[in-house]
Amino acid sequence: MNQISPEIAGMQRNIDNIEIRPLAAALGAELRGVNVAAGVNDTQMAAVLDALHTHGVIVLRDQHLTPQEQVAFCKRLGPMRVSFMTEVSVPDAPELTIVSNIVKDGKPIGLVDAGALWHTDGSYLPQPDMYTVLHAIQIPQRDNVALGDTCFMSTAAVYENLPADIREKIHNAQGVHSLSYHIQRKIEGNFKAPPAKDTKPDVLHPAVIEHPVTKRKGIYLTEGHTKAIHGLPDDESRQLLDNIASFATQTKFLYRHKWREGDLLIWDNIGTQHLAITDYGNMPRRLHRAGISSPFNIFMQH
Ligand SMILES: [Fe+2]
């Protein structure tokens, strides 16, 4: 999954001492030379955003941050969304959500099995998150190999390679995004679902979105949340969504992130989708997640 062409492997750049190392052909890059706790200047911040839009998902390694340091960095990316799931927020940092399987006093301290189906964060909301920032606090290992990888997909690479007949069908279509459908899928798949009280009204979003910065078009239909293509008969809609989902998950469109403690991973929710691999059982795992609202009108073309 992490094969990259020699041309891309050699495409490293230096901006204000930041080194950018692409991690896979379709998306993903590591940024070296940024120390978030020490402070990020405006030039570095512009380079971080540029790399984020270009590569879809970027990792800054060895960032051991307090919740307050993570929040201060995230605010540089845009307005932070405070999750409605307040029972799993980081103490004294309501902008951060705990993603964890750790149980304390009989209750999980965070979201368990967050993202076990392909999705993009907040697509079931009228205004989804533009970026997500996930900080690795505790990562399980077996035989010195990290568990709980996160896989990413380039939505633009998928769109650009879709068979013409499928592209034509979704060009002006809208997807129905549904949290209750997502919960149902999780229950059917024996994943741990969030409590039913977290349901929200379904929302419509364009099936194809032009990225507000890169102007690349990408699919905005997900395995996890897109219940239907609006206006199509149920069987036709299901068939089309299943065809797109199986096409989109080809290795050539993906990057698989192997976590290290201290990783600060940032992804662009318009340019990517992601999937959590839950292969660590009860081994403790903890990450702190932030959702950043869009500084752009993502859906302005419709
Ligand atoms: Fe997610």
Q: Say how far apart CA 265 and CA 188 lie, in whole Å.
A: 30
Give the Å distance between the CA of 97 and the centre of ligand 1.
11
> 6-10, 46-50, 111-115, 160-164: which range is least confident on average?
6-10
Q: What is the dihedral of CA 104, 120, 181, 289, to 10 degrees?
A: 20
Q: Say how far apart CA 244 and CA 207 lie, in whole Å.
A: 11
Q: Measure the CA angle with vertex 110, ends 109 and 114; round to 5°.
A: 150
Give the Å distance between the CA of 6 and the centre of ligand 1.
31
Q: End-to-end distance of the chain based on CA atoms, in angstroms? A: 34
Give the Å distance between the CA of 147 and the centre of ligand 1.
17
Q: What pTM does this model have?
A: 0.91
The chain-wide mean pLDDT, for the chain, equals 90
Give the Å distance between the CA of 17 and the centre of ligand 1.
31
Predicted local distance difference test score (pLDDT) of residue 15: 59
CATH no. of 7-293: 3.60.130.10
Instruction: Read off the pLDDT band of 7 (50, 70, 90).
Output: very low
Task: Inform me whether the pLDDT recorded for 198 exceeds 80.
Answer: no
Q: How many C-beta neighbours within 10 Å does residue 7 have?
A: 9
> Which amino acid belongs to residue 277?
I
> Which amino acid belongs to residue 97?
T
Give the Å distance between the CA of 178 and the centre of ligand 1.
14
CB-proximal residues (5 Å) to ion ligand 1: 115, 121
Q: Kind of pairing, strands 150-154 and 254-257?
A: antiparallel
Predicted local distance difference test score (pLDDT) of residue 11: 47
Give the Å distance between the CA of 99 and the centre of ligand 1.
10
Give the Å distance between the CA of 289 and the centre of ligand 1.
9
**Is residue 163 classed exposed, middle or buried when 0-12, 13-18 and 19+ CB atoms within 10 A define those classes?**
exposed
Give the Å distance between the CA of 121 and the centre of ligand 1.
5
Predicted local distance difference test score (pLDDT) of residue 302: 42
Give the Å distance between the CA of 112 and the centre of ligand 1.
12
Instruction: Read off the pLDDT band of 55 (50, 70, 90).
Output: very high
Domains of the chain: which residue ranges? 7-293
Give the Å distance between the CA of 182 and the centre of ligand 1.
12
Residues with Cβ < 8 Å from 66, sequence gap 6 or more? none
Query: Could you tell me which residue, 143 or 13, shows the higher pLDDT?
Result: 143
Mind listing the pLDDT tens digit for each residue in 247-287? 999 999 999 999 999 999 999 999 999 999 999 999 999 99
233 backbone dihedrals φ, ψ, rounded to 5°: -60, 150
Q: Say how far apart CA 47 and CA 16 lie, in whole Å.
A: 8
Give the Å distance between the CA of 90 and the centre of ligand 1.
17
Give the Å distance between the CA of 14 and the centre of ligand 1.
30
